[in-house]
């Protein structure tokens, strides 16, 4: 009886010692916890940077897509006008004759086109005088409600494209020569057929696409 009582405390000490060792093995030290937190923090920073880069790239793509849509819309307007070109001169507000197409020193191109839609059946011609002008980084489409202008005939401006750095309209003759001004002075002599107007070249520069060049042959010339 006494031996059993004497041996019992030793057995309890072994049990308590084994339990304490198990707790030490199953737990984490402060250093281990700090390492885990540091790893999670690094993963969080990397993940945040990836998400930020993806979001920024997506925004850039969306902005470029919207910008490309604006450019395509502007090119459609210009192309539609040039493909409807007609060799028909007009008169300015002073009664002076203007050629069917002219390019002046201010970079304004002005010409006559067919196909001016008239869905409301107003009393006007379906031939229209249009032009393109760059002012303060904005490309405008200009048109007049009449062909032969009076003193009160004011042009109507349509904003076509913003953020434009440079616009150049160039006349191209049948021999491939380029002219910054049109028509050319001949001194009253007949114009050589090889030097007659054949097409219009547009060079336009704007971010982020840089310079774009388009060539439109003119019908009926």
The full set of domain ranges for the chain reads 73-217
Residue 161: the pLDDT is 94
Helix (H, G, I), strand (E, B) or coil at 121: coil
More confident residue, 125 or 181: 181
Helix (H, G, I), strand (E, B) or coil at 167: strand
Contact 160, 74 (CB under 8 A): yes
Contact 103, 171 (CB under 8 A): yes
Minimum mean pLDDT among 45-54, 102-111, 132-141: which range? 45-54
Where does the chain show beta strands of DSSP type E? 90-91, 97-98, 101-103, 109-113, 128-135, 138-144, 156-162, 166-173, 178-179, 197-206, 210-217
Q: What is the CATH number of domain 73-217?
A: 3.10.610.10
pTM of the model: 0.70
79-130 pLDDT, tens digit each: 999 999 999 999 998 889 999 999 987 778 999 999 877 666 666 678 899 9
User: Whole-angstrom Cα distance, residue 64 to residue 210?
Assistant: 13
């Amino acid at each position: 009886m006494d031996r059993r009582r004497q041996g019992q405390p030793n057995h309890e000490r072994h049990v308590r010692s084994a339990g304490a060792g198990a707790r030490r093995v199953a737990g984490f030290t402060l250093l281990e916890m700090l390492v885990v937190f540091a790893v999670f923090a690094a993963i969080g920073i990397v993940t945040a940077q990836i998400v930020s880069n993806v979001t920024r790239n997506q925004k850039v793509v969306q902005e470029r897509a919207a910008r490309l849509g604006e450019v395509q819309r502007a090119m459609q307007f210009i192309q539609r006008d040039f493909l409807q070109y007609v060799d028909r001169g007009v008169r300015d507000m002073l009664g002076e004759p203007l050629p069917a197409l002219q390019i002046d020193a201010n970079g304004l191109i002005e010409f006559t086109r067919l196909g001016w839609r008239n869905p409301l059946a107003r009393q006007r011609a379906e031939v229209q005088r249009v032009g393109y002008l760059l002012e303060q980084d904005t490309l405008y489409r200009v048109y007049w409600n009449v062909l032969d202008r009076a003193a009160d005939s004011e042009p109507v401006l349509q904003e076509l494209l913003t953020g434009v750095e440079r616009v150049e309209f160039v006349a191209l003759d049948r021999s491939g020569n380029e002219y910054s001004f049109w028509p050319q002075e001949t001194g009253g002599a007949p114009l050589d057929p090889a030097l007659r107007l054949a097409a219009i070249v547009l060079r336009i520069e704007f971010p982020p696409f840089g310079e774009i060049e388009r060539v439109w042959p003119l019908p009926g010339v």
